[in-house]
Structure 1
Amino acid sequence: MEIAVVKKGILEVVRNLSLDSKVQEALAFLKGDQDTTMKDQMDIAAIPAPTFDEAMRGAYYKSRLEELGLENVVRDAAGNVYGIRRGTERGPTLVVFAHLDTVFPLDTHVRPEVRNGKVYGPSIADDSRGLASILTILRAFDHSKLTTVGNLIIGATVCEEGLGDLQGVKAFCAERRDVDGFIALEPGQAGQVTYECTGSRRYKVTYQGPGGHSFNDFGKPSSIHALGRAIAAIADLQVPPHPKTTFTVGVVQGGSSVNSLAAEAEMLIDLRSTAADSLLKIEEQVLELVQHGCAAENDRWNSEMIAIQLERVGDRPAGSQDFSEAIVQTAVSSARVLELTPTTQGPKGTDANVPLSLGIPAITLGSGGDFGGVHSLGEWFDPTNAYQGPQQILLTILGLVGLKGVSQPLLQERKCNE
C-alpha cells in the first residue's frame, strides 16, 4: 500500500537537503559504492550467527564500525554492538540498527554463491543486507564530510529472530534514556516503510501423563490426545479482521513409539496482533483452551493423571503510530524526493517493536534490492539498484537529526531526556 505525504513542510525540508552539494555527493557515492557494499554483505553472511551465538559475527562487525570511525564502539552485556557519531549541537539522538543474528544453526553452510546475477546463501538478505547498508552509509558520511546536528547511535543488535525474543533491543532500551528515535533496517525494497509493529506471545505447552502400552494400558489418558483436544479447540477460534490478530500451533512433538501411550507431548504456540488489547484477549482464550485439553482428556478416562506445564517463550510488544508522525513522513518524503514509491506491507515484528511500545518514534526501512526465500537455505538477494535503499536511509537520517548549516532536526527531543 502506498503511503501519502501529508506534511508538506517536511517534504520541503527533505527536498532542500537533497539539493545540498555534500548530500548530492553522498548519494552519488552510495551508488558508486554498490560493489563494495555487496562484498561486505557476502562477507557478513559467511560468518555464522545463530540467535544466542552471534559473538563471531559481532566481533567482526565491531571491528568494521571502529574502522569506519565511530566513537565509543562497544559490545554491551547483551551482545549488541554499536558506537556513536556525534552531532555538533544539542539535538535529538537517533538510533540506526540492523541485527546480527540468523535462524540457521552454527554448522549450516553459509558461504554465499553468485548465480545468474543473484546471490544465494543463508542470511544473505536477512539481515546481512541491513548490516552492509550501515557500513556503506558510514563510508558516505566520511567521504562527503557530512556533519549532523543531532547524535547518531549506529550498530547492530542480537537476538532479534525467533526465540531470541528481541532480547538485544530490549536490553538496549532498558539501559538508555537518551533515545529520541529509532530506525530498524531489514530486507526490503527501497521505499518500503513500516510504522506499525506486530506484537506476539509465544508459549511452550507440555502435557505429561502416565504413559504405558497402547493395548495393555488402554483406558489411561494420553498426553498426545490431550494436546490434540487443545489444538482442535484452538483451531476453531474466531478472531477479528481488524486489528489483525492471528494464532498458530507451529511445532508439535511427543510420544515414543506407535504402540505406546504418550507420556509427554508438547507444542509451540504463536499469537500475534497489532493491538495490545487484542493480543491479550487471544492469549487469554488460547490459554483457557490449553487447560481445557488437559481437563477433557482426564474427564474422558475418569482420571487426574494428565498434568500441564506452561512456559512463555516469547513476548514482543505491539506498537503503532499515525503515518503523519514526523519520523514516518521524513522517510516517506525521502522516498518521494528520490523518485521512489513509499509503500508499506502492513505491521511487522522487528527491533522497532520495543522502542515504539515505549513511546519512542520508530520505523523499519527496507535496505534496498530484491530478495526471497528468507529463513531458508535457498535465500537469495538481487542487487539490481540496491543502492537506492541506503540512499533513502541516509536522506531520512539527515532529515531527522539535521545537517549542520542546512537544516534543523525534524525529530523532536523527548521530554524524558531533559
Structure 2
Amino acid sequence: MKHGLLKMMVAGSLMSLSVGLSAQGQVGPQGVTPAPADTRLLATIKDRPAVKSAFAALESEHDDWVANIITLTEIPAPPFKEAVRAKAYADMFRAAGLADVEIDQEGNVLGLMRGTGKPGGKLVVVSAHLDTVFPEGTDVKVRREGTKLHAPGIGDDVSGLATQLSLIKALVAAKIRTPMDILFVGDVGEEGLGDLRGVKHLFFKGKYKDRIASFFSIDDGSTDGLINGGVGSKRYKLTFKGPGGHSFGAFGLVNPMTAMSQSIVNIYKIPVPANPRTTYSASVVGGGSSVNAIPNEVWLQLDMRSASAAELAKLEKEVLAQVDAGVASENAARSTRDGAISVVKELIGDRPAGTTATDSPLVSQTAAAYATQGVKARLSVSSTDANVPMNLGIPGITIPRAATGGRGHSVDEWIDVSPAPSLNVKRMDLLAILAAAGYR
C-alpha cells in the first residue's frame, strides 16, 4: 500500500528509535519522568469533582467490564471477518451514549463524544481493534477460573474494546465534556495481513481524517507501558516459478524449490543492526504437487521489521537483491532448456515506522497521568495501530488495556480481571485522554 510509505523519510527523529531509549536520550530502565507543568496539570484534573465521579463510575461498572469482555470474545472476529463483532460493538457504542455511531466503508465502528468547542474542529481519537489473529472456526468460548479468563483473543484486543466502553460510560455518567471532540473507534485489520487497514482508512480516506490532532490505541498488555515508537514492517509473498517436470525423467532441470532455498540462505547472511532493532523471518512456505515431481511453483512469505524507517528500507532492498541472486544461481547451476526460474515479488504487508517524541505533550501528559496513580511510565516500541499517526507526524501512542495476562496470540491466551490493577489502569487512561482533549 503506497500510503504506508508516506513521510517515512521525514525528520531524523523518525528514523532512530530503540527499545527503552528515545532520540532525546530521556528514557532509561526507570521509565520517563513527565515535565513538572504536566505533573501539576494532571494532579489538578484528577482532583476535579467530575473526574472523581468518573472514577466512581469506573469502579461501579467493573462487573459490566468483565461481562463485556466475555460477550465480545465469544463473537468471532477472524482476519477480514470482523463484521458481526463490529455490529455488536456499534450497538454498545449507542447504548453507552455516543453520537453519530456508524460503521464506515472499511468496517471500523465510529462514535463521537462531542466537546464544547467549535463543531468540526480538531479531535482526539481513542481506538481499540476488533480483529484477532485466529482463523475462522477457532473455539472462542471463555473459560473462567477465579479472576482469570481464558480464550483466544481475550486480551488482544477484546480487553481493550471493553476498557474503551468503560471509559465512555464513565465520561457520560460524570457528564464530562472536553473542549475537543473525542472520536472512539473499534477498528479492523490490526492483526497480521490486515496491515492496519482500518486505521489507514481512518487517516487517509475517513470522514474525520483532516481533524485528528492526536491518537490513542488501547492495546498494551501491561500496567505501565506507554508505546511511543512504531516498529515498521514489510511483508512479501515471493513466488518462484519454473518449468517443472518428472523427478526422474526431468532431473537436471532448474528447480524453483532450490532457488527459494538459496534465497533464504542468502537472506540469513544479511547483517542487521541491534540498535535500532532490525529483524527478518522466513515464515511460511508452500507449493509443489507431488513427491515425484519437480515443482513448477513454490512460494515463501517473508517478514522484515525495524524501529527505523531508514533501516527497514535498506533491509528491504538487500533482501530483494538476495532473492534475485538466489534465482540467478539456480538458473546458472542447472538446465534452462524448458524454461528458466522466475520470481514474483508481491508486497502483502506495509506497516510504517515512526515515533512520538518523548518530550511531546502527548507523551509527557500521559506519563503524568500514570504518575497520579503511582505508576512510572515505561516507554517502549511495538507494532500497533499507532504506527500510522506516528509515521505521519501526528502524535500517537499506545496505552494499556487494563487487563494483564499471557500467552497472547495463542489459543490458550488468558487475562486477569482483578479489580484493583484494572481500575488503576482505567483511571490513568481516562486522565491521559482528558488531558489530550484539552480538559483543564
- Per-residue Cα deviation, 1:357-403 (whole angstroms, up to 9, x for no partner): 11110000011221111111101111122222221110001111133
Alpha carbons 2:283, 2:301 under 8 Å: kept = yes
**Does the 8 Å CA contact 2:155/2:403 hold for their aligned counterparts?**
no
- Structure 1 unaligned runs (5+)? 408-418
The corresponding residue for 1:115 is: 145
Distance (whole Å) between structure 2 residues aligned to residue 250 and residue 229 of structure 1: 15
SS at match of 1:333: helix
Please tell me whether the aligned partners of residues 62 and 74 of structure 1 are also in contact (alpha carbons under 8 angstroms): yes
Alpha-carbon offset, residue 277 of structure 1: 1.0
Number of residue pairs matched? 403
- What is the letter of the counterpart of residue 97 of structure 2? G
Tell me the equivalent position of 2:351: 316
TM alignment of 1:130-209, pairs within 5 A = 130-174=160-204, 175=206, 176-209=209-242
Instruction: Please give the root-mean-square deviation of Cα atoms over the aligned residues, in Å.
Output: 1.3
Tell me, in whole angstroms, the C-alpha distance in 2 between the residues paired with 1:297 and 1:177. Answer: 51
Provide Cα deviations, 1:94-116, integer angstroms capped at 9, x if missing partner.
00000111111221111111024
1:412 aligned partner: none
Please point out which of 381, 386, 396 is paired with 2:432.
396
Measure the CA separation in 2 of the matches of 1:83 and 1:34.
Answer: 22
Contact in 1 for aligned 2:34/2:368 (Cα 8 Å):
no
Question: Does residue 341 of structure 2 align to residue 306 of structure 1?
Answer: yes
Q: How does 1:14-413 map to 2 (within 5 A)?
A: 14-90=42-118, 92-174=122-204, 175=206, 176-303=209-336, 304-344=339-379, 346-384=380-418, 385-403=421-439, 407=440
Q: What TM-score do you get using the length of structure 1 for normalisation?
A: 0.94
What are the Cα deviations for residues 326-351 of structure 1, in whole angstroms up to 9, with x where unaligned?
1011111111111123113x211111
Q: Give the Cα–Cα distance (whole angstroms) in 2 for the partners of residues 264 and 18 of structure 1.
A: 62
Supply the AA of the counterpart residue of 2:98: L
What is the aligned partner in structure 2 of residue 410 from structure 1?
A: none
Point out the more displaced range, 84-93 or 352-361.
84-93
Describe the SS at the equivalent of 1:387: helix
TM-aligned CA distance change 1:4 to 1:187, over 3 Å: closer
Give, in whole Å, the separation in 2 of the partners of 1:264 and 1:389.
Answer: 51
TM-score normalised by length of structure 2: 0.89
CA distance in 2 between counterparts of 1:191 and 1:332 reads 9
Contact 1:49 1:56 in 2 (8 A): yes
Whether the 8 Å contact between 2:223 and 2:404 is mirrored in structure 1 is: no
| Paired residues of 1:355 and 1:362 also in contact (CA < 8 A) | yes
Amino acid across the alignment from 1:41? I
- In the alignment, the residues of structure 2 paired with residue 47 and residue 196 of structure 1 have an alpha-carbon distance, to the nearest angstrom, of 31
For residue 92 of structure 1, report the CA deviation from its aligned partner.
4.2
Residues 201-251 of structure 1 show CA distances to partners (whole Å, capped at 9, x for unaligned) of: 100000011222222211011111110000001111100112111111111
In the superposition, relative to structure 1, how do residues 302 and 220 fare at CA in structure 2: closer, same or farther (>3 Å)?
closer
Shift of 1:138: 1.0
* Letter matched to residue 281 of structure 1: K
Q: CA deviation at 1:262?
A: 1.9
Q: Which runs of 4+ in 1 moved over 6 A?
A: none
SS at match of 2:91: helix
Where structure 2 has 5 or more consecutive residues not aligned to the other structure, the ranges are: 1-28
Aligned-pair distance for 1:31? 2.5
The one-letter amino acid paired with 1:246 is T
Matched-pair contact (CA < 8 Å) for 2:34–2:365:
no
Distance in structure 2 (CA, Å) of the matches to 1:383 and 1:233: 47
For residues 40 and 34 of structure 2, the distance between their equivalents in structure 1, rounded to whole angstroms, comes to 12
SS in structure 1 opposite 2:354?
A: coil
Q: Quick one: which amino acid aligns to residue 81 of structure 1?
A: V
Amino acid at match of 2:373: L
Give the secondary-structure state (helix, strand or coil) at the position aligned to 1:299: helix
- Which segment drifts farther, 36-45 or 302-311? 302-311
Greater shift after overlay, 247-256 or 40-49? 247-256
Q: Secondary structure at the match of 1:196?
A: strand
Q: Secondary structure at the match of 2:243?
A: coil
Equivalent position amino acid for 2:231 in 1: T
Paired with 1:393 and 1:135, the residues of 2 have a C-alpha distance of 12
Conserved 8 A contact 1:189-1:389: no
Task: Deviation per CA, 1:72-128: give whole Å up to 9, x if none.
Answer: 111111111111111112474100000111111221111111024310001100110
CA contact (8 A) 1:65 1:155 kept: no
- Within 2, Cα distance between the matches of 1:116 and 1:233? 50
Q: 1:166-220: per-residue Cα shift (whole Å, max 9, x none)?
A: 1111111013100000000114122210001011110000001122222221101
Q: Name the CA shift for 1:141/1:350 in 2 (closer, same or farther; >3 Å).
A: same
